[in-house]
Amino acid sequence: MEQTIQPLDRVALELGPLTIYWYGLIIGLGALLGLWLAIRESERRGLAKDTFVDGVMIAVPVAILCARLYYVAFEWDFYKDHPGKILAVWEGGIAIHGALLGSFLTALIFSKRKGISFWKIVDIAAPSILLGQAIGRWGNFMNQEAHGGPVTRDFLESLMLPDFIVNQMYIDGVYYHPTFLYESLWNLLGVIFLLFLRRVNLHRGELFLSYLIWYSVGRFFIEGLRTDSLMLTESLRIAQVMSLVWILAAIVIWIYRRKAGLAEKRYLES
């Protein structure tokens, strides 16, 4: 007999005509905690307290827009027939690579206008970005998306997962890999790793490049388990291609900046 398991309600609150979804609240929480972490560190690094507040006010809407456009572009076969759903971000469908590209471009322009080193800005922001990504994956959990292939309930229970996670992974009569959780835990471990690297006092820019490598390595392998990947071809997953590109780019930039003498300052230097 098929089990009857009700998924968690995606709606957090309804205020008249206004519906607030857990997806948006969780994404917002991730952004706020990331901002808090960045503000604390920016003050230690001699930046004005409102530097990251000003930056986030620009970066967040740009990131969301770019994340959605990136996703829609690679799912155009669907959205060209459903244009009314293009802006329905509360249903899910934002691509983190698009968000990161938008954020990096914003940081580049913002740092030039403020007269602050781009590398200093992104070094400080790196642990915060990863923290936001770790929390944001729980928005996917509430939407029952970003999961992997079919598994058994016994497999999920063998991971010592609480029932609310196991039950939420039961979708249309099938249990699935909680890949949202794998990535969330990988990112949280990465936050700890980056906070440790801050004490190592790498050359400026290398904390951010370490973030790119760490996140991309995890994303490459976890993406291979997912069933809802954006595809470049029938067998080529866009996120895996982007992950490889970012790993290679980070290593090349790291070596180039060292050899060209562009990374003489250390992270802890003002």
Q: What is the mean pLDDT of residues 229-234?
A: 84
Is residue 214 within 8 Å of 69, Cβ to Cβ?
no
Highest mean pLDDT among 53-57, 64-68, 223-227, 251-255: 251-255
Predicted local confidence at residue 108, as pLDDT: 94
Residue 269, token pair as written in the block: 């230097």
Condensed to tens digits (0 to 9), the pLDDT of residues 39-70 reads 999 999 989 878 999 988 888 889 888 888 88
**Which residue, among 50, 40, 35, has the nearest Cα to 135 in the 3D structure?**
35
- H-helix or E-strand spanning residue 15: strand 11-15
Is residue 118 within 8 Å of 107, Cβ to Cβ?
yes
The 8-class DSSP code of residue 133 comes to H
Q: At 124, is the pLDDT very low, low, confident or very high (cuts 50, 70, 90)?
A: very high
Condensed to tens digits (0 to 9), the pLDDT of residues 75-94 reads 888 888 778 888 777 666 77
Condensed to tens digits (0 to 9), the pLDDT of residues 127-183 reads 999 999 999 999 999 999 999 999 999 999 999 999 999 999 999 999 999 999 999
Reported pTM: 0.91
